[in-house]
Amino acid sequence: MMGPAHSLSGAAAWLGAGAAAAAAGHPMPWPVLVVGALITAGAALAPDLDHKSATISRAFGPVSRSLCGIVDELSHAVYKATRGPGDPRRNGGHRTLTHTWLWAVLIGAGASAAAVFGGRWAVLAILFVHLVLAVEGLLWRAARVSSDVLVWALGATSAWILAGVLDEPGNGSDWLFSGAGQEYLWLGLPIVLGALVHDIGDALTVSGCPILWPIPLGRKRWHPIGPPKGMRFRAGSWVELKVLMPAFMVLGGIGAAGALNFI
């Protein structure tokens, strides 16, 4: 899928998770619901770090473009080193390493560890990166015609304000994990969810997505998981724009209402 659809699906998924958490007796304070939705919207773009033309490659100027090139080469190298006898040869790393459940879990765990052990500045950095990505995904039309500096300033300002809100007692810095020193441990959860939602979205497209790597399926380790061919669509097609994106907005609204006990 394209960047805006990925971000919308990520936000909708976190809002749905908020409704599920409320039903399970662990309701999210409203700052956690809002911040988590924004982080998930941003994290839902991150698996495309292996694609030099993706939205994320433009988000942070030369830094993100260079990083995308490095991740593309790394992903391609991992693919070549681990491909099974049934996996085809490839010329690049797109939709390989960063489009797997293992990558999602490792990135989320790394973010949680950074938030817990790195202190406030690590939390601010995580928020900044994902809020910039959320702007690029959810407000992509405005972001395209705005300067990068303006988008970065919005991300930095929002990160500072939202971190301050979360730090207030009862606002959620210790949501779900309330032990001493476990503040912001939950920050990895929306990052994992965003990456997995991205992978599921890509699995619905023509090329599928090797979400299950490194688990082998038959003669393949990089099996492109997806529904039957007749149910798949091309990225950017009318199905994505006219059906899925409106559906994500509706589902997100329902999830938010459930999370806040409005329904």
pLDDT at 148: 85
pLDDT at 67: 94
Q: Which portions of the chain are predicted below pLDDT 70? A: none
Q: What is the pTM of this model?
A: 0.94
pLDDT at 52: 83
Q: Which residues pair with 205 in a beta bridge?
A: 233
pLDDT at 140: 77
What does the alpha-carbon distance between residue 74 and residue 134 come to, in Å, rounded to a whole number? 25
Number of residues that this document lists for the chain: 263
pLDDT at 178: 82
In angstroms, how far is CA 191 from the centroid of its own chain?
5
Please provide the DSSP assignment of the chain as one string. Answer: --HHHHHHHHHHHHHHHHHHHHHTT-PPPHHHHHHHHHHHHHHTTGGGGG-TTSHHHHHTTHHHHHHHHHHHHHHHHHHHHH--TTSPP-SS-TTSGGGSHHHHHHHHHHHHHHHHHHHHHHHHHHHHHHHHHHHHHHTHHHHHHS-HHHHHHHHHHHHHHHHHHHHSTTSSTTSS--STT-TTGGGHHHHHHHHHHHHHHHHTBTT-B-TTTTS-BTTBSS--B-S-GGG-B-TTSHIIIIIIHHHHHHHHHHHHHHHTT--
